[in-house]
Amino acid sequence: MRISELETFVVGNPPPGFGGKYFIFLKLTTDDGIEGIGEVYTATFGPHVVTQMIEDVCGRHVIGADPFRIERLWRDVYGQGYSGRPDISLVGVLSGIEMACWDIVGKAVEKPVYELLGGLVHERLRGYTYLYPEPGDTTNVYFDADLAAKRAAEYLALGHTALKFDPAGSYSTFDPRQPSLEELERSERYVRQVRAAVGDSCDLLFGTHGQFTPAGAIRLAQRLEQYDPLWFEEPTPPEIPEEMAKVARGTSIPIATGERLTTKYEFSRVLETGAAAILQLNLGRVGGILEAKKIAGMAEAHYAQIAPHLYCGPVVGAANIQLSACSPNFLVLEGIRDWGGFHAEILKTPIEWENGYVVPSKAAGLGVELDEAVAAAHPYDGDDLHLTPKYSVDAWL
């Protein structure tokens, strides 16, 4: 069996657009007709530049390769350009390719990927979601504590048992910084009211985007500790885990990080420095499924847990599910509300969610199939980045 064809899809995510402006999918086909899908989560270039990267990598390394030889293919893509280090865009491309290879392998042997990586450990997977705006909102749920408390109670009634929010404000291109008194007060009030709305029935996940200095993050954490969040997410930028470890030592709230990290090499530093107790690897960026399984194993040896990150499309979500289902140290899985909306529409069979939990599919491979007709009906022709800061240093001058 050899990989013979590549096709890419840049799919616009229609309103409300939760999960980003677009999703980048790829399909590999073997010479005997087995198809595998993957998704690339690369936010550093426009999407059509990323598809050119996918085509370049596949032309050099993937077309003609044996999809079962995933470890060898990974090393060739990672190392032949003589960078030999975690390159977030290259490894994002590699992640989608590797994911598609696992989909092919699972279909070839008629097994879900989790059965090939140690077997099913968890029959169902606890999930979490952000608090999202809804039609008719007159204020911003990301900042309005009263609306957030109301929305949290609504989500609790739907079955959610863990909720995330980031009222501290957006990151900028000139972080890290000290939080302002306004940000400190708004964050504390927000968490206090959400906790009052859900009681002990929901875990609260406090998100930031690496925008604070260690000292500033500790100031914020000390205000939040009394409300017992499950985690304080990425309190400092991702480059220097030693600095994030100062925050971990300065608060009782578990630190979670990893959505911007890639490969076992970067995650090993997080574990060795004690920067975080919860790893939020995104399988569309981290290096794919096997690389993520290695990271989960390293985390297990440090008594750390995994909480796969999702702010992209449902193919990465499906890969996250495969990893989570076979990992003893799985904690919680990010979803976008109940995995409905466009995340369901773009798949032939939606991911199964019930009462706050995802049920891993028993279908072969990743357990999902891209609906190519829906993809074709929602092309994305722009050149925006997947994410951009809401303000730059000019906002602080």
Matching CATH topology for 3-111 and 115-365?
no
C-alpha span between 169 and 166 (Å, rounded): 7
pLDDT for 243? 98
Give me the residues of the chain with pLDDT under 70, please.
389-397
Please write the tens of the pLDDT for every residue from 79-115.
988 888 999 999 999 999 999 999 999 999 999 999 9
What CATH homologous superfamily does 3-111 map to?
Enolase-like, N-terminal domain (3.30.390.10)
pLDDT for 397? 41
* From the candidate CATH numbers 3.40.190.10, 3.40.920.10, 3.20.20.120, 3.40.640.10, the one assigned to the domain spanning 115-365: 3.20.20.120
List the domain boundaries for the chain. 3-111, 115-365
Active site residues: 209, 309
Number of neighbouring beta carbons within 10 Å of residue 383? 10
Dihedrals phi, psi of 217, to nearest 5 degrees: -65, -40
β-pairing, 305-306 with 22-30?
A: unpaired
Model confidence, pTM: 0.97
pLDDT for 254? 98
pLDDT for 396? 41
